[in-house]
């Protein structure tokens, strides 16, 4: 392992934020018991905000590197459960937010955050789905745990063209569910149907469903958006249905009533991919590898180098990214 490496580094210089590729030494790494040679990371919405001026203060302990997930190979560890050469995944736990993240050729983390990569998925393909894929799989697991089956009825997915939304559609379709995809980008109808969506609904049509209780339309939902869209979905879930809430792209408010809960016995389930237990993560990653073929991983993947991250980071904030962006960290 080299004593120097390259990383996208954010720091304050004369009260001004700079984000640029920098050569660092091992002494620049944060505390942790495990050092990893990073091969791949991915581009998530939070990463877009971090790279574009650290909007919403995603990175809170400057100087540091952005990147909320990574896949790589352990170069050293003091944890007896791991060894040099293990292929591993790290997502959540403050990576890229409070702890220097995956846009770095070498990282140092706590071994409690690490997942051993399942044999049924490559390092690159773990980041083809990344945090978004993990969140989508966790959402589906929670719907299953609440009793929702593919025979229960349609599942509606909001933010359908985004990372979590598109992967939710693909996974639900593979599990035999009928999926309604809600999007503000109706020009992507073919793309969403190719992923497995049965029906396409415009965001405006869902926003127009403003009654406190609408006719039941869906057995369940995966919502990545929050606010009024989530409220309107809750008003149209069938009796006994469930909604997995995993995002707030439209805001933190929820302008709803208790009627769907007390008249239709529905459940609203929060999804957390940051601190969820290791055994749940292991199950989710194994199922991702089982459900998505290598060819399908390649079809949804756009690979860029860390030198090329600026353009897609802007596009993801503008809602113009299609598919998933893998960031090759090795070749800077």
Q: Class of the 4-117+300-328 domain?
A: alpha beta
Could you tell me the mean pLDDT of each successive run of 10 residues in the chain, 332 residues long?
Answer: 89 90 95 97 95 94 97 97 97 97 98 97 96 97 98 97 93 98 94 96 96 97 97 98 94 95 98 95 97 92 94 91 90 82
User: For residue 321, what pLDDT is reported?
Assistant: 82
Could you tell me the residue ranges of all domains in the chain?
A: 4-117+300-328, 131-270
Model's pTM, two decimal places? Answer: 0.94
Instruction: Calculate the alpha carbon distances from 42 to 80, 161, 253, 309, 312 in Å.
Output: 28, 17, 28, 10, 11
Contact partners, residue 326, CB within 8 Å, separation at least 6: 40, 41, 42, 43, 124, 127, 128, 130, 301, 302, 303, 304
Contact between 222 and 165 (Cβ < 8 Å): yes
Domain spanning 131-270: which superfamily?
NAD(P)-binding Rossmann-like Domain (3.40.50.720)
């Amino acid at each position: 392992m080299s004593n120097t490496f390259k990383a996208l580094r954010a720091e304050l210089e004369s009260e001004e934020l700079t984000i640029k590729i920098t050569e660092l030494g091992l002494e620049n790494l944060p505390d942790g018991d495990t050092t990893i040679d990073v091969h791949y990371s991915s581009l998530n919405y939070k990463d877009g905000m971090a790279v574009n001026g650290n909007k919403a203060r995603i990175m809170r302990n400057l100087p540091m590197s952005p990147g909320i997930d990574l896949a790589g190979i352990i170069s050293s560890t003091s944890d007896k459960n791991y060894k040099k050469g293990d292929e591993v995944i790290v997502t959540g736990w403050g990576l890229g937010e409070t702890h220097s993240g995956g846009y770095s050729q070498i990282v140092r983390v706590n071994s409690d955050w690490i997942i051993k990569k399942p044999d049924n998925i490559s390092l690159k393909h773990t980041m083809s789905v990344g945090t978004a894929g993990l969140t989508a799989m966790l959402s589906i697991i929670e719907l299953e745990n609440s009793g929702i089956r593919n025979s229960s009825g349609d599942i509606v997915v909001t933010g359908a063209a985004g990372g979590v939304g598109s992967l939710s559609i693909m996974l639900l379709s593979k599990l035999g569910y009928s999926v309604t995809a809600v999007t503000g980008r109706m020009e992507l109808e073919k793309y969403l149907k190719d992923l497995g969506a049965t029906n396409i609904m415009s965001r405006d049509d869902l926003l127009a469903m403003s009654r406190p209780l609408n006719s039941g339309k869906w057995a369940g939902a995966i919502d990545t958006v929050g606010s009024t869209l989530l409220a309107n979905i809750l008003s149209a879930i069938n009796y006994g249905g469930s909604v997995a809430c995993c995002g707030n792209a439209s805001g933190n408010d929820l302008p709803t009533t208790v009627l769907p809960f007390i008249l239709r016995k529905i459940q609203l389930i929060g999804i957390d991919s940051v601190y969820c237990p290791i055994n749940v993560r292991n199950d989710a990653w194994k199922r991702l590898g089982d459900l998505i073929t290598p060819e399908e991983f390649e079809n949804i993947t756009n690979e860029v180098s860390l030198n090329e991250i600026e353009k897609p980071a802007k596009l993801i904030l503008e809602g113009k990214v299609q598919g998933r962006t893998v960031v090759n960290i090795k070749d800077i």
